[in-house]
């Protein structure tokens, strides 16, 4: 019993003497808020410093031509560093409306935010009472996040400028859509058509002359027709059919009418042409030139 009574005061003294490890917390330093009207100089407008422990006493006027700028340095304990989240929270305590805007933060903790009235929700523009501006800073780990009011913001608007309205999508009957299609492309003038037709006819005559010049033997024509009359006739007919299809496409048909017909004629030309070339190969192997 005497030992316990002697040990208890010593334990109490030791517990008081031991340092208590305090958990670090997030905060900020070197904070300034500035409101600069459009067209004002570098030193124009309102600018004031604030700290993390005491908010500004007077509301800051914020008009539709102003630019709000908040600059601060985020700190974890006594060291400046970049948090995981840092944003300015604007909150209307009366209606429960709030909106947040993230800071642009560097690795050394320096944070910056610029804001205009155009970026505020429409519901905030009609408020008459000052809204609360809070700085929220936090990150992973055991450090306590910072969330506290730093100043009040008084939104002021020109009474002659109407408030913008938000267009809400509604489900229902929509107005009828009338499609306007382009006119069909017209054929070129007849003069251009005749000119290109004459050019094609001239090339055909040149092609026939070159055949004769290179030694085309027209004397084998009766033999070819006798050995394989149908393949040669159908192959030549398919070639002329292609020309007819192109003429119809040029004058009246569209592409959807041309393609099926061209596919059928193409298959016929391939089969008949293979048979006709087989007959020509047989004469070549027999030594006929």
3-class DSSP state for residue 257? helix
* Residues in the chain where the model's pLDDT stays below 70: 1-23, 40-44, 166-169, 185, 215, 217-219, 289
pLDDT digits (tens, 9 = 90+) for 184-227: 767 778 888 888 888 888 888 888 788 777 767 666 777 777 77
Instruction: Specify the pLDDT at position 14.
Output: 47
Instruction: Specify the pLDDT at position 151.
Output: 94
Assign residue 171 a region (left: φ > 0; alpha: ψ between -120 and 50; beta: otherwise).
Answer: beta
pTM attached to this predicted model? 0.51
Q: Which residue has the tokens 């904070």?
A: 31
Based on the number of CB atoms within 10 Å of its own CB, is 185 exposed (0-12), middle (13-18) or buried (19 or more)? Answer: exposed
The dihedral over CA atoms of 84, 73, 93, 96, expressed in degrees to the nearest 10, equals -30
Instruction: Specify the pLDDT at position 11.
Output: 53
Instruction: Specify the pLDDT at position 229.
Output: 84
In angstroms, how far apart are the furthest CA atoms of the chain? 142
Measured distance CA(62)–CA(27) in Å, rounded: 25
């Amino acid at each position: 019993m005497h030992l316990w009574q002697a040990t208890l005061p010593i334990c109490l003294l030791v517990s008081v003497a031991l340092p208590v490890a305090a958990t670090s917390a997030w905060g900020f330093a070197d904070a300034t808020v500035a409101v600069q009207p459009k067209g004002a100089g570098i030193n124009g407008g309102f600018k004031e410093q604030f700290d993390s422990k005491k908010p500004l006493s007077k509301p800051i006027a914020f008009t539709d031509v102003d630019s709000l700028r908040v600059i601060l340095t985020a700190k974890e304990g006594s060291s400046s560093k970049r948090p995981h989240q840092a944003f300015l929270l604007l909150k209307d305590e009366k209606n429960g409306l709030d909106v947040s805007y993230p800071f642009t933060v560097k690795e050394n903790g320096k944070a910056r935010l610029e804001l205009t009235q155009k970026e505020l929700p429409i519901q905030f523009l009609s408020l008459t009472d000052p809204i609360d501006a809070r700085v929220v800073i936090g990150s992973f780990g055991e450090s306590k996040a910072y969330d506290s009011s730093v100043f009040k913001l008084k939104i002021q608007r020109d009474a002659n400028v109407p408030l913008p309205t938000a267009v809400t999508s509604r489900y229902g009957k929509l107005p009828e859509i009338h499609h306007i299609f382009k006119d069909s492309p017209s054929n070129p003038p007849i003069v251009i058509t005749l000119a290109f037709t004459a050019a094609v006819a001239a090339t055909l005559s040149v092609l026939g002359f070159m055949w004769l010049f290179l030694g085309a033997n027209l004397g084998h024509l009766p033999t070819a027709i006798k050995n394989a009359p149908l393949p040669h006739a159908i192959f030549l007919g398919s070639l002329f059919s292609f020309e007819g299809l192109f003429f119809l496409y040029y004058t009246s048909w569209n592409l959807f009418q041309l393609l099926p017909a061209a596919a059928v004629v193409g298959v016929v030309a391939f089969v008949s042409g293979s048979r006709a070339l087989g007959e020509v190969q047989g004469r070549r192997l027999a030594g006929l030139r």
